[in-house]
Amino acid sequence: MGEKKIKLEHFANIVAVAASDGKITDQELELLKDRALEYGLSEPDVNELLDKAESLEFIIPLNNIEREEQLSEAVLMSMIDDDIAEKEYEICLKIAEKLGFDQKYLNHIIELSKKLSR
């Protein structure tokens, strides 16, 4: 699979997480823009994904490193406003389970994220 396709899938997954509570906040949008820039994604690609944010399907990466990165990104996106809402937690738990991780591991990632954001 091409590098660009992997980055687009990863970006689509974090867009899906950002939109999971029915809205994308300014803080979430800023993080998404930063990630898009970091991934070298084109503006048309980014806009297309943002336009269909609420209908995006989560894509499971093939290797463990990408799975851990995606779970960490989902948690970071959920905690961007310093709080993880119940719906966001439920989405992160579903993502964790799809990626092959359990609730204990998700809670561990959340705690690590809290420590790193202080």
> pLDDT > 70: what percent of the chain?
98
Averaged pLDDT score across all residues of the chain:
86
Q: What is the pLDDT of residue 103?
A: 96
pLDDT in tens, 38-70: 889 999 999 999 999 888 877 788 888 889 988
- Side-chain half-sphere exposure of 72, counting CA atoms within 13 A: 10
Residue partners of 11: CB distance under 8 A and separation at least 6: 32, 35, 36, 39, 41, 46, 49
| Superfamily of domain 3-117, CATH level 4 | TerB-like (1.10.3680.10)
**pLDDT value of residue 118:** 64
Q: Among 21, 104, 11, 90, which Cα is nearest to 58's?
A: 11
Q: What are the boundaries of each domain within the chain?
A: 3-117
Instruction: State residue 40's pLDDT score.
Output: 93
pLDDT for res 85: 80
The ranges of the chain with pLDDT < 50 are none
> What is the per-residue pLDDT for 101?
95
